Amino acid sequence: MVKGKRIYIYSRDLDSLVVDFEKAKEEAANEVEYLKRNLTLDNWFHEWFENVKCHKVKETSRPTMRNGYKRTFGFYMGRMKITDIRPIDIQNTINAMEKAGASHSAMRDNLGRIRECLEFAVANQFIPANPCIQIEVPWSFRRPKEEVALSQEEQNEFLSAMEDNWYRELAYFMCLTGVRVGELGGVKWKDIDVKNKTIRIERALSCNYVDGVKRQALTTPKTVNSIRTIPFIGEMEEILLSQKQKQSVLKKELGKRWRGKGEFEDLVFTTGMGSPCSRYIVDKEIKKALNRMRTKEAQSAMEENREPREFRDFHPHSLRHTFATRCFEAGMEPKVVQMLMGHSSITVTLNIYTHVMKSKLHEEVSKFGLANKEPIVITPIETPSFSAHAYY
């Protein structure tokens, strides 16, 4: 074996065999050196990703990672030879990505993969050192978006707006389980245990575009903790019965035109033609319901001669956050909520708990002193006069 390449030489004459072997060694060494000198980042990333990285990530994550590379490092320096790449080249690429408007998280994520990719090149002696060192990646100073959780009143308004919709039961299911939208699309009737009143979450619907072609598949959920059993809550049994009856009637009417076949057969929630319910469909129906809520409120405000209430924009994940909020408002323990939500870390659950507690802060503080029949008289004292602009 010469520099990783196995050589086979056959001859009946020993002297000839030795000569041929030395010649083959030289050719193999030259070939390996040629490949090393001319190996581009595109070539090496493909080799590393398909043979190493692919085995460590979910199949549904692979298209996103490949496309991320193509849009970032592949676009700017994919044709560079890996032996020519220096830290300044990596830094210049990061700077170019920032100038082009790439998100800071995209820069960090893709830099991490390139660092891992080139570290494997070092391990295979293709390059002497990893050029992804001391790279300055900009950090976002924008305030992170606050996750929206509907109030009980807003939740009621939303469900009311979904009342005459094909996806009515879907909306109730999300509000009563807190499942991720992908998990929602993966629930099958065999996962529903009516006798024990439980719902098993053990798969998720994924949707990716590969070479411009939409591909849907049922995969494992996000994490190991995502595989869980959720008990029926509230009107769940009634909602599932309604969905089953409605779906059965439609399947009979459509006959062979029903699209729920193969791995998508037996799904609880589908479109009116039997196709899986993707994130796009759920998001679109939520937006339609939100528009109905706003229109109804505007009409009521006009009739009552008042300013209309504002309804915040929300999306499928907001219903998950809303469910967790209802759980905490009902006094559930964080560990129980974590199990229901399928959070991999209790920290995520506690962040929602903290948010709920903050919203109740003024409500709880306002109760202080209500038991006193006589009002508390506070004698004002002289305080130094500070400029508000100096402290705010």
Find out whether 94 and 137 touch, Cβ atoms under 8 Å: yes
176 with 263, same domain: the answer is yes
| CA 385/CA 366 separation, integer angstroms | 27
Rg for the chain, CA atoms, rounded: 30
What pTM was estimated for this model as a whole?
0.71
In the structure encoding, which two tokens stand for residue 3, read together?
Answer: 């520099």
| Residue that terminates a domain, selected from 269, 287, 320 | 320
203 with 101, same domain: the answer is no
200 with 314, same domain: the answer is yes
pLDDT for the residue 376:
46
pLDDT for the residue 383:
39
Give a yes or no: residue 144 inside a domain.
no
pLDDT for the residue 87:
96
Q: Is 292 left (phi over 0), alpha (psi -120 to 50) or beta?
A: alpha
Give a yes or no: residue 75 inside a domain.
yes
191 with 313, same domain: the answer is yes
pLDDT for the residue 374:
54
pLDDT for the residue 201:
97
Domain that includes residue 45, residue range: 39-123
Question: Could you read off the pLDDT tens digit of each residue along the chain, which spans 392 residues?
Answer: 555 556 666 667 777 777 777 777 666 555 556 567 789 999 999 999 999 999 888 877 888 899 999 999 999 999 999 999 999 999 999 999 999 988 888 999 999 999 999 999 999 989 999 999 899 988 765 555 678 899 999 999 999 999 999 999 999 999 999 999 999 999 999 999 999 999 999 999 998 776 777 889 999 887 888 999 999 999 999 999 999 999 999 999 999 999 999 999 999 999 999 999 999 999 999 999 999 999 999 999 999 999 999 999 999 999 999 999 999 999 999 999 999 999 999 998 998 888 787 777 666 666 665 554 455 454 444 433 433 434 33
Q: Using alpha carbons, select from 122, 124, 146 the residue that is nearest to residue 132.
A: 122
Find out whether 24 and 9 touch, Cβ atoms under 8 Å: yes
| Residue that terminates a domain, selected from 103, 123, 143 | 123
| Residue that terminates a domain, selected from 288, 320, 352 | 320
Give a yes or no: residue 106 inside a domain.
yes
60 with 171, same domain: the answer is no
86 with 208, same domain: the answer is no
| CA 335/CA 341 separation, integer angstroms | 10
> Which pairs with CB-CB distance under 8 Å and at least 24 residues apart come from 334-337?
none
In the structure encoding, which two tokens stand for residue 65, read together?
Answer: 């990672």
Place of tokens 């494992």: 220
pLDDT for the residue 258:
95
177 with 113, same domain: the answer is no
85 with 174, same domain: the answer is no
Give a yes or no: residue 177 inside a domain.
yes
Find out whether 169 and 239 touch, Cβ atoms under 8 Å: yes
| CA 24/CA 12 separation, integer angstroms | 17
288 with 171, same domain: the answer is yes
| CA 41/CA 46 separation, integer angstroms | 8
Give a yes or no: residue 118 inside a domain.
yes
pLDDT for the residue 262:
93
The CATH number for 74's domain is 1.10.150.130
Q: Using alpha carbons, select from 68, 77, 13, 4 the residue that is nearest to residue 44.
A: 77
Give a yes or no: residue 279 inside a domain.
yes
86 with 163, same domain: the answer is no
- Please tell me what DSSP assigns to residue 314: -
Give a yes or no: residue 59 inside a domain.
yes
225 with 282, same domain: the answer is yes
167 with 310, same domain: the answer is yes
Give a yes or no: residue 72 inside a domain.
yes
Using CB atoms within 10 A of its CB, is residue 38 exposed (0-12), middle (13-18) or buried (19+)?
A: exposed
- Total domains in the chain come to 2
The CATH number for 185's domain is 1.10.443.10
